[in-house]
Amino acid sequence: MKKMAIVCSGGDSSGMNAALKRFVEYCIRKEIEPWFVHDGYEGLIDDRIEKADYASVAGIITRGGTKIGSARSKRFMEAHYRKQAIANLHARGIGALVVLGGDGSFRGMHKLTQESDLAFCGIPATIDNDIAGTEYCLGVDTALNVIKDAVDAIRDTASSFGRAFVIETMGRECGYLALVSALTGGAEMCLIPEIPYDLNAYKRDFLREKAQGRRYFIAIVSEALKKSEEVAKWFEEEVGIESRVTVLGHIQRGGVTSVHDRLMAYRFVTHAVDALLEGKKSSVICYNDGGFEAKHIDDVASKQYSIPEELLSLAKEYGSE
């Protein structure tokens, strides 16, 4: 294998630039020619593919997002566009593609492995942390730290004014970000789709706490529930406290990449390139129990992620008797 390319697909996550830097430098060390695919699968279809070198990745490790761009591609769902994407790689003699992305990106990669003779390796890179088979995805630590800073700042104004703040986190249909942020941010309420909740139980607790002197509340709610405004109204009508909603939105995807995500990017990419050189043609690099493993794409793209029961058990303490 003489040439290898890398693409960022779907939602961006901090750590992608660190991964690009490691990819270029490690490929050159292994005497492989590195290539970039710009703007996700859309760029793969439209032939936005260029050779990369040391200058391509100079100074990018401190930046969030991805220098080569990303995209969600509806066209890639159609076979004739995937055929064009494969032809573009063949035209340059590129024998393997590393895909940084989430579940949609891996479903697209799964199709490519079935429709071509090229080799592919996925790296879980999504702040949602919702990829089956891996306990960690690139960018999650940075996103959690962004949320942590926001919660800490909001707590200052909540305590000053005696308000309830409902903070909505991202994560699509997965409550991981909300759950970990609530546990580590000292929130009084945590609502996620994985756990049924009873606002009446919260009401009993919160009214008792108010009577004992609590002046404010922090509630962290997963965007999947679409309940943030409703919960804020509940605070005012049922608990009797002024409330505000803060939707953190896309700031969770940006920011300076944390040390942990920079290191994980380095390790993920190293294992991905090595897996391809070892002849694994359709794998995803997964991280579990402190180690890395190249799992077949069938074991990742076709399964659903579940938050570890240990974390869920901690969340079940919210709103309980």
Domain membership flag for residue 311: no
Same domain, 129 and 229: no
Q: Which two tokens stand for residue 291?
A: 């180690």
What is the edge-to-edge ordering of all strands in the sheet holding 243-247? 189-191, 217-222, 164-169, 243-247
Same domain, 270 and 134: yes
Domain membership flag for residue 33: yes
Q: Are 224 and 171 in contact (CB under 8 A)?
A: yes
So what's the pLDDT on residue 271? 98
Same domain, 238 and 265: no
Domain membership flag for residue 8: yes
Catalytic residue among 39, 128, 130, 205: 128
Domain membership flag for residue 320: no
Same domain, 29 and 131: yes
For residues 160 and 168, what is the distance between their CA atoms, to the nearest angstrom? Answer: 21
Of the three residues 253, 271, 294, the one that is the final residue of a domain is 253
Q: Are 19 and 68 in contact (CB under 8 A)?
A: no
Domain membership flag for residue 309: no
So what's the pLDDT on residue 316? 83
- Residue 230, domain CATH: 3.40.50.460
Residues 6+ apart with CB under 8 A from 163: 157, 216, 241, 242, 243, 244
Same domain, 18 and 134: yes
Same domain, 44 and 83: yes
For residues 209 and 319, what is the distance between their CA atoms, to the nearest angstrom? Answer: 13
Residues 6+ apart with CB under 8 A from 229: 245
Residues 6+ apart with CB under 8 A from 20: 6, 8, 36, 52, 56, 57, 60, 66, 67, 68
Residue 38 in 3-state DSSP?
coil
Mean pLDDT of 283-300: 96
Look-up of token digits 């996550």: 13
For residues 103 and 109, what is the distance between their CA atoms, to the nearest angstrom? Answer: 10
Residues 6+ apart with CB under 8 A from 1: 32, 95, 96, 119, 276, 277
Same domain, 204 and 285: no
Domain membership flag for residue 321: no
Same domain, 61 and 132: yes
So what's the pLDDT on residue 318? 79
Say whether pLDDT at 78 is over 50: yes
Same domain, 162 and 191: yes
Q: Radius of gyration (Cα) for the chain, nearest Å?
A: 22
Same domain, 151 and 69: no
Of the three residues 194, 225, 253, the one that is the final residue of a domain is 253
Q: How confident is the model at residue 321 (pLDDT cuts 50, 70, 90)?
A: very low
The tens digit of pLDDT for each residue in 160-194 reads 999 999 999 999 999 999 999 999 999 999 999 99
When divided into structural domains, the chain yields a total of 2
The tens digit of pLDDT for each residue in 205-216 reads 999 999 999 999
Q: Please give the residue range of the domain that contains residue 161.
A: 140-253
Q: Are 129 and 102 in contact (CB under 8 A)?
A: no
Domain membership flag for residue 178: yes
For residues 256 and 308, what is the distance between their CA atoms, to the nearest angstrom? Answer: 28
Active site residue 128: yes
Of the three residues 190, 224, 253, the one that is the final residue of a domain is 253
Q: How confident is the model at residue 320 (pLDDT cuts 50, 70, 90)?
A: low
Q: Are 102 and 130 in contact (CB under 8 A)?
A: yes
For residues 147 and 48, what is the distance between their CA atoms, to the nearest angstrom? Answer: 34
Q: Are 198 and 231 in contact (CB under 8 A)?
A: no
- Residue 95, domain CATH: 3.40.50.450
Instruction: Please state, for a pLDDT cut of 70, what percent of the chain lies above it.
Output: 99
Mean pLDDT of 206-228: 97
So what's the pLDDT on residue 1? 79
Same domain, 178 and 122: no
Same domain, 130 and 14: yes
Domain membership flag for residue 212: yes
Say whether pLDDT at 274 is over 80: yes
The tens digit of pLDDT for each residue in 295-308 reads 999 999 988 999 99
Say whether pLDDT at 286 is over 50: yes
Residue 69 in 3-state DSSP?
coil
So what's the pLDDT on residue 27? 98
Q: Which two tokens stand for residue 95?
A: 């024998």
